[in-house]
């Protein structure tokens, strides 16, 4: 069981036409979640499915009063007006297509077809297919097959398949290169293991096992 996080909460007192509420800033949803104005455990109000609070809920640690829920938003330049996660999701296709060019030795667009001898690599958005025998004869048109030899739905598994590097290691490298941070050995191992565990749990979900 993961520990239950404790979030600082601030109360807007009861006033005409409104009940007292406790408000917390949620960094996963990048918004304020509001609850009844008493301390203790709550089921998360998170709307982002990847928020870890959805599994654990959170404890409200009531710190004081505020005039408005907006006062709980961090005093950061964009907080409450823009959502970092959405901006990153907008940037991700551009980032990936920029990374495709050097990693696949091709001019990267969001769609890419690349031939390597008999092999064809196709990338459309996040989905990719590798057909090891798409061009059995030099100069011939490609054979179209229903079942590619390799396929996936993300950039990490594509690079892992092409370069023979474990998905966890690819993920760590992408993070380091894109963010300009470098982790120590324990950090790299931890992140790589978490990435492998995410793939394992996704595969279990697909197979219908718990
Ligand atoms: Zn949330």
Helix residue ranges, H only, the chain: 53-56, 84-104, 155-163, 167-179, 185-206
Residue 109: per-residue pLDDT: 65
CA 112 to centroid of ligand 1, rounded, Å: 36
Q: What is the mean pLDDT of the chain?
A: 90
CA 32 to centroid of ligand 1, rounded, Å: 8
CA distances from 57 to 2, 8, 41, 49, 104 (A): 10, 14, 7, 13, 42
Find the helix or strand (DSSP H, E) in which 81 lies: none
Q: Encoding tokens for residue 31?
A: 């918004």
pTM score of the predicted model: 0.77
**Residue range 19-60, pLDDT digits in tens:** 999 999 999 999 999 999 999 999 999 999 989 999 999 999
Sorted by where each begins, the domain ranges of the chain are 6-72, 84-206
CA 191 to centroid of ligand 1, rounded, Å: 23
State whether the Cα torsion 138-140-142-144 is positive or negative: negative
State whether the Cα torsion 90-91-94-96 is positive or negative: negative
Residue 81: per-residue pLDDT: 87
Q: Which residues of the chain have pLDDT under 70?
A: 106-110, 208-210
CA 62 to centroid of ligand 1, rounded, Å: 17
Residue 84: per-residue pLDDT: 93
């Amino acid at each position: 069981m993961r520990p239950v996080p404790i979030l600082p909460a601030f109360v807007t007192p009861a006033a005409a036409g409104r009940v007292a509420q406790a408000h917390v800033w949620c960094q996963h949803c990048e918004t304020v979640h509001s609850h009844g104005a008493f301390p203790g455990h709550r089921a998360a109000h998170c709307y982002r499915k990847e928020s870890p609070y959805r599994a654990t809920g959170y404890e409200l640690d009531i710190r004081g009063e505020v005039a408005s829920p907006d006062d709980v938003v961090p005093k950061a330049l964009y907080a409450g007006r823009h959502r970092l996660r959405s901006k990153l999701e907008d940037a991700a296709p551009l980032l990936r297509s920029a990374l495709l060019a050097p990693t696949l030795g091709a001019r990267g667009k969001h769609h890419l077809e690349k031939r390597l001898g008999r092999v064809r690599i196709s990338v459309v958005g996040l989905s990719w297919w590798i057909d090891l025998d798409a061009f059995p004869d030099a100069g011939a048109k490609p054979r179209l097959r229903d079942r590619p030899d390799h396929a996936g739905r993300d950039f990490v598994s594509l690079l892992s398949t092409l370069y023979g590097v474990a998905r966890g290691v690819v993920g760590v490298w992408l993070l380091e290169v894109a963010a300009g941070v470098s982790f120590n050995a324990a950090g790299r191992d931890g992140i790589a293991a978490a990435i492998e565990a995410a793939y394992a749990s996704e595969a279990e979900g697909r197979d219908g096992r718990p």
